[in-house]
Amino acid sequence: MSGSNATPRPHHPTPDGRINPRLTTAADSALVEAVCRVEATARSHDGFADRQEAAEMGVARSHVMVQDATRLTAAAVRMVTAGGVLSVLHPLMLPLLLLAVVPAAVEAVLHAKVTYETRRVLDVAPRMLRIVLASSAIGGVFLVATWAVLAWLAATGQVEPAVAATAVVAVQSTLAALSQLVIHGAAMFHTALYLADMDTFLTHAAERAPKRCESVIGGPLEEIRLDEVVYRYPGRTAPALDGVSLTLRRGEIWAVVGENGSGKSTLTRLLCGIFLGQWQRLVCSRALYRRPDLLILDEPPSQMDARGEYAILEQIKAIAADRITLVVTHQLANTKIADRIIVMEHGRITEHGTYEELADAGGLFAELLALSQDR
């Protein structure tokens, strides 16, 4: 065994290794923050999921941007160095070589766009084949012209054989550098398409983030008043609530009834400023335990047995005296605990009154009540 104590060389991370993790983390954090701030109801509308998926692909590709930029810069330096030699030999050689690479550059950019579009369009193979054939043919013509000029210079004695050999190396070096420029430039363009999707999504998400009020209500909540309220879900033209006027007072129980899509849950979401889920037992337990000034229950006993439903309704009645209570329900029998009932249709309040008043009014409430009793 050797007795030497060799000290390992310290590992110095490359610029890519230092920047890429930070760039990816920043992009990922921006995406997560944008998604978390979006109003929950907007996630099921207006192609939100597709935009989010495209943005996630942008995050996944963000780490290669620095790497491609570094390689692109190195290729540009090599091209300038080798191209200078060609310019000295003959002024036509470098332009011809550049023209030989231009079709490949166009092909690379179009290929990047087509590859990007394959997420949406699958029948791109014929189009890609035409692009490759055309660019190869045009580029081949100019490349042959470059070698022809060099051969002509050597044959006519305008350059020495040793210089001609140097020119061959310069042509190959310039061509390789130009090819690297094309490859890494197209890669950056490809990544930029996905990053543009990410930027579009961040703007889209910011437009759908709820605007929070900075003021805080002090003291107990005595009354909530809605005056001709109109609300539209993001990406929708028809209002979910249309001209709703309502005054909720402390100590009252209000029941909200109506058919599916009438705006009941939208009304509760608007009052809370959040998206209420159908969590039944957990939501009921938390709401009753915390004793808030405003208690909103959306179908609270819908997944419970008869005993659980009775217990929840009794709890609601017991605590309603010192808070504003709103109950959304399809079970019309449960509305008997309410002091007032509102009936909603197409985002509007069409009826309001006590259980007895609405049952005798002959309107939608009476119709739904009769249907429930016939079952």
Where residue 29 sits, what CATH number does that domain have? 1.20.1560.10
**pTM to 2 decimals?**
0.45
Does 125 have pLDDT greater than 60? no
The beta-strand segments (E) located in 238-277 are 241-249, 253-258
Answer yes or no: is 148 within a domain: yes
Q: Where among 141, 172, 207 does a domain terminate?
A: 207
From residue 210, alpha-carbon distances to 40, 116, 117, 173, 224 in Å are 9, 32, 32, 57, 20
Does 305 have pLDDT greater than 60? yes
Which token pair is 243? 């001209």
Answer yes or no: is 91 within a domain: yes
**How many domains does the chain fold into?**
2
Does 124 have pLDDT greater than 60? no
**Same domain for 185 and 143:** yes
Does 278 have pLDDT greater than 50? no
Answer yes or no: is 216 within a domain: no
Residue corresponding to tokens 């998400």: 205
> Residue 275 — very low, low, confident or very high, per pLDDT cuts 50/70/90?
very low
> Per-residue pLDDT averaged across 5-34, rounded?
66
> Residue 194 — very low, low, confident or very high, per pLDDT cuts 50/70/90?
confident
> Residue 277 — very low, low, confident or very high, per pLDDT cuts 50/70/90?
very low
**Same domain for 246 and 198:** no
Digit-coded pLDDT (tens) for 55-114: 887 777 777 777 777 777 777 777 777 666 666 666 766 676 666 666 666 666 666 666
Digit-coded pLDDT (tens) for 223-254: 888 888 888 876 678 888 888 888 888 888 88
More confident residue, 134 or 256: 256
Answer yes or no: is 1 within a domain: no
Q: Where among 159, 181, 207 does a domain terminate?
A: 207
**Same domain for 24 and 132:** yes
Report the sign of the C-alpha dihedral through residues 72, 76, 77, 83, in that order: positive
> Residue 280 — very low, low, confident or very high, per pLDDT cuts 50/70/90?
very low
**Residue 311, pLDDT score:** 78
Does 294 have pLDDT greater than 60? yes
Does 264 have pLDDT greater than 80? yes
**Residue 138, pLDDT score:** 60
Range of the domain at 274: 223-374
List the CATH number of the domain containing 252.
Answer: 3.40.50.300
> Residue 289 — very low, low, confident or very high, per pLDDT cuts 50/70/90?
very low
Q: Where among 141, 173, 207 does a domain terminate?
A: 207
Please, where are the H alpha helices in 214-342? 264-272, 281-290, 306-319
**Residue 42, pLDDT score:** 65
More confident residue, 263 or 159: 263
Highest mean pLDDT pick, 14-28, 186-200, 278-292, 308-322: 186-200
- d(CA 220, CA 201) in angstroms, rounded, equals 40
First to last CA, the chain: 91
Q: Taking a C-beta distance cutoff of 8 angstroms, is the pair 10, 180 a contact?
A: no
> How many angstroms separate the most distant Cα atoms in the chain?
113
Answer yes or no: is 3 within a domain: no
Digit-coded pLDDT (tens) for 337-360: 888 999 999 889 999 999 999 988
